[in-house]
Chains A and B, each alone.
Chain A
Amino acid sequence: MLNYVLSRLLTFVPTFIGVTLISFAFIRVLPGDPIIVMAGERGLTQERYAELEQQFGFDRPIVVQFWEYLTGVLHGDLGNSFVTKKPVWDEFFALFPATLELSICAMIFAVALGLPAGVIAAVNRGKLYDRTLMSTALVGYSMPIFWWALLLIIVFSGNLQWTPVSGRIDLIYYFPDPTGFMLIDSLASGQKGAFASAVRHLILPTIVLGTIPLAVIARQTRSAMLEVLGEDYIRTARAKGLSPGRINGIHALRNALIPVITVIGLSVGTLLAGAILTETIFSWPGIGKWMVDSIFRRDYPVVQGGLLLIAVMVMVVNLTVDMLYGVINPKIRKR
């Protein structure tokens, strides 16, 4: 197992360098000069332009700029935002817990509903339940996130007033946020009603962000289960007279889980992409909106630093998924 982990970790190094290069190049390939964008309609003089160019280091050759960026990254310095002038690192870690909290909730929601839904659909293949569930999953998968979010807000927050419209907690609550995770901080604050308010604020964004992964997981679980249910050993288990619950829940599901876990791992990328829209609509202070704003403003340090950190995060998730394969399937870790 140790060798397996080490070999996976080694693949990290070239990927990291590649990601650093791509994140650096990506924003520079886009047309648009950050200094001109910053000055807007007001414009600026040529002297001032030259001064700022020098200040931001754009007057140096691109290779030198990349080298400085790379050495900065290796020293843990991602530079300062052109816009807010604050270190990219500080901004990322101030916003990241909000995205992580929402993503974890959305993933729990998607797995908790998607897995049983897929299993039940497979077991009831071709029946009304199966058809309804799979059509619903298709709708869920195809639905535009912003439309779905606004629909839920109008119905549940506007008409029924069951949930708050947006934000992470009612604004009357004010307490220190050492972890950045609202559920934990609100609980730790001891303020009456704060935790309940945080939970209420999480409901709609969780549903919205979790909808697509839910649909994907349900469909993937169903098809993996169908494949496994046709295997000889399942027939043998049936012949031995094992209960359907034991056959489906243990023998079949465990083997069906590998492709499902792959999908869950890949969904992390989808979650981050979905987080951009979800965060904007629900005024959720996470990294999705931060990245989009920075791309529009050509805030190079934020875009390249943010991309790098997100990529590292996805790499860590994929590594974890790889490890999980090993746990589930001993054949893989021995390979």
Chain B
Amino acid sequence: MFKKRMLASGLLIAAFGASMASAQSLVYCSEGSPEGFDPALFTAGTTFDASSHPIYNRLAEFKVGTTEVIPGLAESWEVSDDGRTVTFNLRKGVKFHSNDSFTPSRDFNADDVIFSFDRQKNDDHPYNKVSGGTWEYFDSMSMPDLIDSIEKVDDYTVKFNLTRPEAPIIANMAMDFASIVSAEYADAMLEAGTPEMLNQAPVGTGPFSFQAYQKDAVIRYLRNDDYWGDPAKVESLIFAITPDASVRYQKVQAGECHVMAYPNPADIQAMQDASDVVVMEQEGLNVGYLAYNTTVAPYDNANVRRALNMAIDKQAIIDVVFQGSGQIAKNPIPPTMWSYDESTVDDEYNPEQAKELLAAEGVEGLDMKIWAMPVQRPYNPNARRMAELMQADFAKIGVNVEIVSYEWGEYLSRSKELDRDGAVLLGWTGDNGDPDNFLAVLLGCDGREASNRAQWCHQPFEDLIQQAKVLPTQEERQPLYEEAQKIFKEQAPWATIAHSVVYMPMRPEVEGYVVHPLGGHIFNQVGLSQ
């Protein structure tokens, strides 16, 4: 097998000489090493870029560049009238990849679907504890409670029986943790006593097959010529792992990489001016916010919260903290998501009026804490700086701010406490493109003392999102989510700060790259013009 690979590499070298920018090899400068190659075990975007996108498919897929869900390994699906059963009709003739120790003897079928989910759900499954067996995404999307059972109707039909109707289930099936792995490969590896190979030498049905990985250095993939969908446009895909953003940019300029991830905000202007670099951009599917603790006075008063929101100069934050690579957020969901309420009017920046509003509520000489995250995130590249700007803004209306910070793990756990002292800077990046993934997770009553950092439980809002969750179609759900956003704005449990803008610098010869709103870097249909 290695000889075969060497031959392929040799051919590539012969065909393209010593130039990095060869016509058939696409080099992507990624930001870090994947945690592994079994997407169900992990939660990091870096891991999904290297595993679920090139190597695997799911029953449903997100159409690249949108949050629209389209058929994947399931050609179609039907949801029962009561919303408690989803039947997937599987695609025929789909081939799994081969590797040194495995050649599939059959095509993809219902057994693979059942295996892929059963190993995550069933504690007694032989693969449940393999490779650490922490199925974080499956758990955090409440799948163990939601999926009652999975039935094989026949080789190409699988039925998911749910404990309750839940509209986002189809979008969940397009998420990385729902990638379909080969049951036959898993059996073979278990028999050989090396079940962890499922994570280390992945076998999927995706447009690229895994070739080799050297930690912190390089990942290599070859085009899957038996791919069921549109075949990849390049013969090989290489991830050159380059942790430093400045170095990634140098590599793009030197032609050592075609595409790079996560540029330094400070470099973007120079990149846009450079003739040998093209910069694509799109709003990220995320939101950065300041969550008040709505259970503690005076933040239990919506008028006080609105007054504080009016004192924040968001444009200054976009300019200073995001260095232009962000946009002001007025809703709790990003504008690329369906049901985003365009009609929302954001709080006006008006310190004078804010001061009057506070006085009208009898709030004077307020001392408050703002929690600044110790880590960088796309939705908040510098929380300390953001907090300092807010401190200055609040000082103008007579509110004295103390900035506090904790180590990240401490920050996450302490900020959940119901009687927490202070407003918390945090944010969220969407998982499945469904508004429920923002509104219910971050603002629903069940999320209190967990992901709902505002500890906010407002019944009219809660009723709307719960109703929307069980309605079958997007058209029926949309008005309810729009209404919920209006209530959110009126109640102001957060100050919505910003949505980041994602920039993707690449060389001019790169063709067909689409920035994906869900944050992944996907190269299935990317080609090179030279």
Instruction: Report which A residues bind B (CB closer than 8 A).
Output: 30-34, 36-45, 48, 52, 55, 80, 82-86, 91, 94-95, 98, 150, 153-154, 157-158, 161, 164-168, 170-177, 191, 193, 279-286, 289-290, 293, 298
Contact, CB under 8 Å: B426 / A153: no
Q: How far is the CB of B377 from chain A (nearest CB, A)?
A: 8
Are B216 and A290 closer than 8 Å at their CB atoms?
A: yes
* Nearest residue, chain A, Cβ from B15: A172
Residues of A within 8 A of B9 (CB): 172-175
Known interface pairs A85-B36, A150-B247, A283-B216; 4 further A-B residue pairs with C-beta atoms within 8 A, sorted by A's residue number: A32-B408, A175-B6, A177-B214, A285-B216
Judge whether A34 and B216 touch: CB under 8 Å: no
A298 and B416 CA atoms in complex are apart in Å by: 20
Partner of B247, one of A44, A283, A289: A283
Contact with A along B236-258 (1 / 0, CB 8 A): 00101111101100110110100
**A222, B214: Cα distance in complex, Å:** 43
CB neighbours of A94 from chain B (8 A): 214-215
Tell me, in angstroms, the Cα distance from A298 to B200 when the chains sit together: 22
Residues of A within 8 A of B413 (CB): 33, 36
B41 at the interface (CB under 8 A from A): yes
B residues near A175, Cβ cutoff 8 Å? 6, 9
A284 to B240, CA, bound (A): 11
Residue among B5, B20, B408, B450 with the highest chain A CB neighbour number at 10 A: B408
Q: What is the minimal beta-carbon distance from A298 to any residue of chain B, in angstroms?
A: 7
**Chain A residue nearest in CB terms to B244:** A281
Closest to A193 in B: B18
Chain B nearest Cβ from A209, distance in angstroms = 15
Could you tell me if A173 and B13 are in contact, using CB atoms closer than 8 angstroms?
yes
| Chain B, residue nearest A36 (CB) | B409
How far in angstroms is the closest Cβ of chain B from A79? 11
Query: 6 tightest CB-CB pairs across the interface, nearest first?
Result: A285-B216, A32-B409, A285-B217, A85-B132, A174-B9, A85-B131
In the complex, the answer to whether B408 meets A164 with C-beta atoms within 8 Å is: no
User: In the complex, A154 Cα to B22 Cα: how many Å?
Assistant: 24
Q: State in angstroms the CA–CA spacing of A283 and B239 once bound together.
A: 12
Q: A41-B426, A45-B139, A84-B35 given as contacts; is B244 within 8 A of A174 (CB)?
A: no
B258 shortest CB reach to chain A, Å: 11
Would you call B170 an interface residue if the criterion is a C-beta within 8 Å of the partner chain's C-beta atoms? no
Q: Does B102 contact A (CB under 8 A)?
A: no
Q: B12 on the interface (CB 8 Å rule)?
A: yes
Asked if residues A172 and B20 are in contact (CB atoms below 8 Å), the reply is yes
B409, A43: Cβ atoms closer than 8 Å? no
B282 at the interface (CB under 8 A from A): no
CA distance A41 to B291 in the complex (A): 14
| B217 A167 Cβ-Cβ under 8 A | yes
Give chain B nearest CB distance to A285 CB in angstroms: 4
Which residues of the partner chain B approach A293 to less than 8 Å between Cβ atoms?
32
Contacts of A285 on B, CB cut-off 8 Å? 214-217, 241
B427 to chain A, nearest CB (A): 7
Q: How far is the CA of A18 from the CA of B515 in the complex (A)?
A: 51
Tell me whether A41 and B451 are in contact in the complex, defined as CB-CB below 8 angstroms, given that A32-B407, A158-B253, A165-B254 are known contacts. yes
Residue numbers in A under 8 Å from B410 (CB-CB): 31-33
B139, A44: Cβ atoms closer than 8 Å: yes
Chain B residue contacts of A170, Cβ below 8 A: 18, 20
Closest to B242 in A: A283
Measured in the bound complex, the distance between the Cα atoms of B44 and A37 in whole Å is 12
B179 interface residue per 8 A CB criterion: no
Known A-B contacts A32-B407, A40-B412, A41-B427; the reply to A171 vs B36 at CB < 8 A is: no
Write the chain B residue with the least CB distance to A150: B246
| Least distance between A109 CB and chain B CB atoms (Å) | 21
Residues of B within 8 A of A37 (CB): 408-409, 412
Asked if B216 and A166 sit within 8 Å, CB to CB, the answer is no
Tell me if B244 and A280 are in contact (CB < 8 A): yes
Indicate if B401 sits at the interface (CB-CB under 8 A).
Answer: no
CB distance from A276 to the nearest CB of B (A): 11
Of the candidates B6, B13, B253, the one whose C-beta lies within 8 Å of that of A172 is B13
B426 partner residues in chain A, CB cutoff 8 A: 41
A282 touches B247 (CB 8 A): yes
Chain B, Cβ-Cβ closest to A48: B139
A36 to B35, CA, bound (A): 17
Residues of B within 8 A of A82 (CB): 132
Contact assessment for B216 and A158 in the assembled complex, using a CB-CB cutoff below 8 Å: no
Confirm or deny: B136 has a beta carbon within 8 angstroms of a beta carbon on chain A. yes
Q: Are A172 and B25 in contact (CB under 8 A)?
A: yes
Q: How distant is A8 from chain B, measured CB to nearest CB, in Å?
A: 35
Complex Cα distance, B416 from A44, in Å, reads 11
A311 to B139, CA, bound (A): 39
Bound: A80/B41 CA distance, A: 15
Residue of A nearest to B373 (CB): A41
Who on chain A is nearest to B36 by CB? Answer: A84
Bound-state CA distance A283–B240 (Å) is: 9
A95 and B216 in contact, given A52-B134, A82-B132, A170-B18 (Cβ under 8 angstroms) = yes
Q: In the complex, what residues of B have CB within 8 A of residue A34's CB?
A: 409
> Does the CB pair A158–B250 fall under 8 Å?
yes
A39 to chain B, nearest CB (A): 6
Residues of A within 8 A of B41 (CB): 85
- Taking the closest CB of chain A, its distance from the CB of B16, in whole angstroms, is 7
Contact A153 B27 (CB under 8 A): no
Interface positions of B from 264 to 280, Cβ below 8 Å from A:
none
Are B139 and A171 in contact, CB atoms less than 8 angstroms apart?
Answer: no
